[in-house]
């Protein structure tokens, strides 16, 4: 397990990185990346929605909130059967994914549902894949049950900087998310925790988010950086897209701030050109979500990713 830096970066120090000339920041990120990782290896994960829609929360970016079912067109689904999950996990492995992530649209899991999800974890582990879950807020004893089942990672994003959080979500606090992450750490599991950029936040908020992540002890082993997918019917549907170079800068600053973490290109990749993705890899991104869909939003098809990897001389890991 990685350790926290002796002196975690501050928002101010990360803002100074953001402000560097683009080439200087990229060079700095590449130096850090090459000290800790194979620069030409990309870890591939697949994400499956095991329970879609009907979530009680009001996250402004999300189409799965029960508060906006009618405006986003998302149909509420039941928890998938074990056989459906096994088929999807095997297909993901056959396409080169090494980690299988499962997400459920809940505020947090009920114990009965958690027992069914634990069977899914064991089934995926039996296929020889790493496992990750995102189920929302965890209650007392639930993280320990997941750890005992062999879960490798638990995903729970901070989403955005603390000072911007209540402009995006009001149904629960960022502190509640931190409490779930603490439970996950205390149970001995690894953390997958990042955020979403392009929600109308300032560069200062992006720096604040990355500083929060980097100051965790230890920092998250996996850090997904999502670009907002402005879904019609959500409160953020009309937010202008983030400047592509600013997105690359965010990846680069995340790499410098968290040298030993996997930095993952997550939601929003479908709208990125091959050239933009290549810049993100150059900036230190070394993980992607792989497959046709991320929960309810599209994702580049596996064949397109394979072609891009071949053009860039990248391999899976």
Catalytic (active site) residue 280:
no
Catalytic residue among 99, 177, 185, 192: 192
Catalytic (active site) residue 55:
yes
Catalytic residue among 28, 44, 68, 132: 132
Catalytic residue among 44, 68, 99, 101: 101
Catalytic (active site) residue 317:
no
Catalytic residue among 55, 206, 249, 280: 55
Contacts of residue 175, Cβ cutoff 8 Å, sequence gap at least 6: none
Catalytic residue among 28, 99, 264, 269: 264
Q: How many CA atoms lie within 13 A of 312 on its CB side?
A: 22
Q: Which residues are catalytic?
A: 55, 59, 62, 101, 132, 192, 264
């Amino acid at each position: 397990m990685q350790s926290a830096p002796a002196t975690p970066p501050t928002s101010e120090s990360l803002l100074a990185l953001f402000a560097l000339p683009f080439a200087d920041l990229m060079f700095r990120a590449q130096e850090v990346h090459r000290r800790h990782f194979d620069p030409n290896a990309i870890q591939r994960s697949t994400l499956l929605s095991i329970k879609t829609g009907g979530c009680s929360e009001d996250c402004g970016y999300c189409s799965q909130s029960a508060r906006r079912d009618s405006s986003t067109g998302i149909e509420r689904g039941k928890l998938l059967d074990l056989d459906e999950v096994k088929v999807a996990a095997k297909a993901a492995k056959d396409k080169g994914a090494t980690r299988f992530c499962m997400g459920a649209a809940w505020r947090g899991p009920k114990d009965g549902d958690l027992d069914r999800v634990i069977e899914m974890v064991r089934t995926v582990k039996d296929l020889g894949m790493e496992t990750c879950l995102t189920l929302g807020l965890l209650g007392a004893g639930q993280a320990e049950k997941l750890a005992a089942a062999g879960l490798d990672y638990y995903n729970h994003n901070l989403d955005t900087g603390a000072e911007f959080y209540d402009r995006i979500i009001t149904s629960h606090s960022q502190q509640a998310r931190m409490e779930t992450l603490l439970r996950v750490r205390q149970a001995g599991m690894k953390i997958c925790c990042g955020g979403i950029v392009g929600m109308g936040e300032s560069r200062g908020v992006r720096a604040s988010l990355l500083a929060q992540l980097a100051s965790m002890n230890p920092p998250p082993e996996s850090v997904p950086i999502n670009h907002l997918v402005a879904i019609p019917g959500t409160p953020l549907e009309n937010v202008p897209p983030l400047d592509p170079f600013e997105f690359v800068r965010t990846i680069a600053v995340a790499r410098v701030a968290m040298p030993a973490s996997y930095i993952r290109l997550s939601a929003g990749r479908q709208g990125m050109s091959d050239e933009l993705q290549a810049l993100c890899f150059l900036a230190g991104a070394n993980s992607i979500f792989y497959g046709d869909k991320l929960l309810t939003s599209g994702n580049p098809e596996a064949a397109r990713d394979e072609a891009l990897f071949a053009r860039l001389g990248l391999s899976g890991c």
